[in-house]
Structure 1
Amino acid sequence: MTDQARDHDIVVYGASGFVGAVTARYLAGHAPAGTRLALAGRSESRVAAIRDKLGVDWPILVADAADTEALARLAASTRVVLTTVGPYLKYGKALVRACAESGTDYVDLTGEVIFARQSIDTNHEPAARTGARIVHSCGFDSIPSDLGVHVLAQQVAADGAGELTDTTMVVTSMRGGISGGTIDSMRQQLDAVKNDRGLRRLAAGPYSLSPDRAGEPDLGRQGDAATVAGADVHPTLRGTLAPFFMASYNTRVVRRSNALHNWRYGRRFRYRELMSVGASPLSPLVANGVKLGLGALVAGMMLPPTRFVLDRLLPKPGSGPTERAQRDGHFTMDFFTTTTTGARYTARFRAKGDPGYAATALMLAESALALVHDRDVLPPSDGGVLTPATGLGDALVERLRAAGVEITARRL
């Protein structure tokens, strides 16, 4: 959105929540001078307390997630809405619709397949008419995955080495916890699919977020939930690799990017995500334990007796680690691909900070700043429901690099 007549450049919606407050703190310290920021939420007093803690004089906007008129006013007042208010399937639909209709750019943290699909179906055409860039999943879900493949494909194309075929992302190092908001989003999705076979099929489909699912190549499930010998991915990887708990969402975002890019990555592009569990002789047992544990968690969340217990043990929405724990976190994601010419390439996305909190706040805030300050270098687009790679692209890559994130790609 380029209308300078609007009152604000960025409104942080959900500023009194844990991740919203961390993101607001990042913006207070890193937004370029002159950026017109505002805080928003449903409770003026709680948002004011965050503002006082930050020591800023930003305006406060009050809007409940169910108040469509207040959300429409909020969207019309700003160039970009940054929202951390989830689960988005429960609380996010009205706000993203307001942004699409008012031509307001939008970024969020969703990792919810059903919400993202419904947003595409509802908001892509209105956003394209108004020019709004609706960019979902601008945190740990799914910027590292989406931009990692983006720079990998760029390097392959620059070298004239063909297109991507079998591509695997491996989380080779990570320290940090799962946020309460992520757990709550899982609850909402499982509740939605429990008695709806159509939604279950949608959530399980490898191309569930693609613009034209019927037009996608038939490449199967692509190993989203498998355990794999590390050496089968690359000779430097030891032990057995486990499924990555965010793969079921990230892989679908990356495949949407490929389709929106007119299959720039390749029509034979197959993509999966795994995680290292170490190189010890016990790694096959650990990897299979992770696989079984993920399945048990999903099953436990769907059965009332175990759901009751898990709800009391798992992190709560709005909670999070200490500032020191956020600083001490980190993650490294390594990407490996073979191209249609037989060349082998790798890419890396590495960042400091707890993946679900400090690093996510950085990525989300820089996404919003790119929409405000980097309009001339954003990927060409008439608007719509986009992905980080197709809506922000190299502008965000360069912003993240400047913020200390390592994003590289090279031929092996």
Structure 2
Amino acid sequence: MSVNVRDHDIVLLGATGFVGTFTARHLARSAPDGVRIALAGRSRSRLEDVRRELGVDWPIIEVDTTDETAVTRMAASTSVVATTVGPYLRYGMEVAAACAREGTSYADLSGESIFVARSIQRNHDAAEKTGARIVHSCGFDSIPSDLGVGLAHAAAGGVPIVAATLRVRSLRGGISGGTIESLRQQMREAKTDPSVRRLIGNPYALTPGPSVRLPGHAGSGWGKERGTWQAPFIMGAYNQQIVQRSNYLTGWSYGQLMRYREVVTTGRGVAGFASAGAIGLGTAAFVGAMSFAPTRAILARALPAPGAGPGSDAVERGRFVLDVDVYPVEGEPVRARVAAPFDPGYGGTGIMLAESALSLTLDELPDRAGVLTPMVAMGERLAERLRAHRFTLAVAPLS
């Protein structure tokens, strides 16, 4: 958005990591001719390996994300920075801040409440002044949730919403090492700082909060609805923070009383009850284990390391189907289906980040700047891009 002529249109930071390579591959396949892309990271030799594998002649930028001068130079050289380098609390703040200062738009894969809250505090006003769009959570955290609610709300007439629920119908795929490391970093912070624990569990952590709030606003998700058992979705606590930020940034257009939650549907009868219980207990056990240093160390040996992931066969088998049901104050309820035949944490996330970067670079977008959400920054333009790459983002009356 800057009037300055930049050397690049998109800089992909972290292109040598597992998700970064998926993002780079998608850009190599799908970016229109003439889009000037550069690969950035700490290791020139590894970046050259990626470039050689892709068969492209993109420039390479060596940069250490802890070097403020180098990061500022990188941000000033491009229109958009897309970064996969997490945990963002450790490696992302200087990058986002440099982009906000330099009028450079930014997209990441963060699912870290603490990082995004601190980024809003530090970067929102600066980005508004320079015209930068700082867009966190441009992967499976939290594009399906954010676009699902936003598109369903529009289809319902744009009136306030009483309740909205994301239901995970099916989900197959791995969890990335970067995601694990981000959760580990948050748990370390929460262990020593009670305010961090409160922030992680607060659906309004990324907003000033509504002037009116109903009891039980967040909703646990556990229980039975319409005869079908359901358990809380592990990503729901963070995703609802992004959805409520979209609500806030649009003048509480979803309604200050909207109750939003995310659940995993597990079926009916005893089998459904058992599955819901197993998911709930497993989630609680995992989060609990990540909260203590000895059990974190044990999990570190069993879970993927940052930058690592499963084999190509496992990624190829990945897919997801999510339904977002929106209940407006007047009119019929609406369902948005968000689905893709891709692993949500790897192939699907790589496509979502790449298309977010292309949207920020090429599309005619709403005249907004600051620390935004995918829905507020890109909305329907991003949805159109994802549909062109085998994603389903379809809205229909809820029967």
User: What interval of TM-score do these two structures reach, taking the shorter chain for normalisation?
Assistant: over 0.9
Give, in whole Å, the separation in 2 of the partners of 1:16 and 1:88.
Answer: 16
Q: Is the 8 A contact 1:225 1:291 kept in 2?
A: no
CA drift at 1:225:
3.1
Instruction: Report what 1:274 is aligned to.
Output: 263
Equivalent residue letter for 1:201? R
CA drift at 1:281:
2.2
CA drift at 1:226:
3.2
1:272 aligned counterpart, secondary structure: strand
Instruction: Report what 2:98 is aligned to.
Output: 98
Q: Which runs of 5+ in 2 are unaligned?
A: none
CA drift at 1:326:
2.0
Q: 2:224 aligns with which of 209, 217, 229?
A: 229
Equivalent residue letter for 1:269? M
Q: Which runs of 5+ in 1 are unaligned?
A: 232-237
Instruction: Report what 1:285 is aligned to.
Output: 274
String of CA shifts for 1:334-383, please: whole Å, max 9, x gaps: 01122212522211111111000000011100000001110x2x1221x1
Give, in whole Å, the separation in 1 of the partners of 2:314 and 2:278.
Answer: 26
Equivalent residue letter for 2:314? A
Q: Is the 8 A contact 1:363 1:400 kept in 2?
A: yes
For the pair 1:331 / 2:320, whether they are aligned, the reply is yes
Instruction: Report what 1:234 is aligned to.
Output: none
Give, in whole Å, the separation in 1 of the partners of 2:391 and 2:4.
Answer: 30
String of CA shifts for 1:227-273, please: whole Å, max 9, x gaps: 13141xxxxxx631111110011011000001101111122211000
Give, in whole Å, the separation in 1 of the partners of 2:343 and 2:12.
Answer: 20
Give the TM-score taking structure 2 as reference length: 0.96
Give, in whole Å, the separation in 1 of the partners of 2:67 and 2:334.
Answer: 49
2:156 aligned counterpart, secondary structure: helix
Instruction: Report what 1:379 is aligned to.
Output: 366
2:327 aligned counterpart, secondary structure: strand
1:277 aligned counterpart, secondary structure: strand
Instruction: Report what 1:235 is aligned to.
Output: none
Q: RMSD between aligned alpha carbons? A: 1.5
For the pair 1:350 / 2:339, whether they are aligned, the reply is yes
Equivalent residue letter for 1:399? R
Give, in whole Å, the separation in 2 of the partners of 1:318 and 1:230.
Answer: 39
Give, in whole Å, the separation in 2 of the partners of 1:3 and 1:327.
Answer: 42
Instruction: Report what 2:20 is aligned to.
Output: 20
Q: Is the 8 A contact 1:224 1:247 kept in 2?
A: no
Structure 1 pair 50/9, CA: closer, same or farther in 2 (3 Å)? same
Instruction: Report what 1:69 is aligned to.
Output: 69
Q: Is the 8 A contact 1:184 1:317 kept in 2?
A: yes
Give, in whole Å, the separation in 2 of the partners of 1:401 and 1:189.
Answer: 33
What does 1:129-278 align with in structure 2 at a 5 Å threshold?
129-157=129-157, 162-210=159-207, 212-213=208-209, 215-231=210-226, 239-278=228-267
CA drift at 1:324:
3.1
For the pair 1:401 / 2:387, whether they are aligned, the reply is yes
String of CA shifts for 1:48-68, please: whole Å, max 9, x gaps: 111111111000001101001
Equivalent residue letter for 1:320? G
Give, in whole Å, the separation in 2 of the partners of 1:4 and 1:170.
Answer: 44
Q: Is the 8 A contact 1:75 1:104 kept in 2?
A: yes
Give, in whole Å, the separation in 2 of the partners of 1:177 and 1:277.
Answer: 19
Q: Is the 8 A contact 2:219 2:259 kept in 1?
A: no
2:192 aligned counterpart, secondary structure: coil
CA drift at 1:220:
3.7
Identity %: 48
Give, in whole Å, the separation in 2 of the partners of 1:319 and 1:409.
Answer: 35
Instruction: Report what 2:128 is aligned to.
Output: 128
2:270 aligned counterpart, secondary structure: coil
Q: Is the 8 A contact 1:328 1:354 kept in 2?
A: yes
Q: Is the 8 A contact 1:9 1:36 kept in 2?
A: yes
1:157 aligned counterpart, secondary structure: coil
Give, in whole Å, the separation in 1 of the partners of 2:84 and 2:211.
Answer: 31
2:163 aligned counterpart, secondary structure: strand
Structure 1 pair 309/268, CA: closer, same or farther in 2 (3 Å)? same
1:240 aligned counterpart, secondary structure: strand
Q: Which moved more, 1:174-183 or 1:333-342?
A: 333-342
Q: How many residues align?
A: 398
Equivalent residue letter for 2:374? P
Give, in whole Å, the separation in 2 of the partners of 1:304 and 1:266.
Answer: 41
Give, in whole Å, the separation in 2 of the partners of 1:201 and 1:392.
Answer: 30
Give, in whole Å, the separation in 1 of the partners of 2:92 and 2:335.
Answer: 36
String of CA shifts for 1:53-100, please: whole Å, max 9, x gaps: 111100000110100100000000000000000000011111100000
Instruction: Report what 1:88 is aligned to.
Output: 88
Give the TM-score taking structure 1 as reference length: 0.93
Equivalent residue letter for 1:268? L
Q: Is the 8 A contact 1:3 1:79 kept in 2?
A: no
Equivalent residue letter for 1:262? G
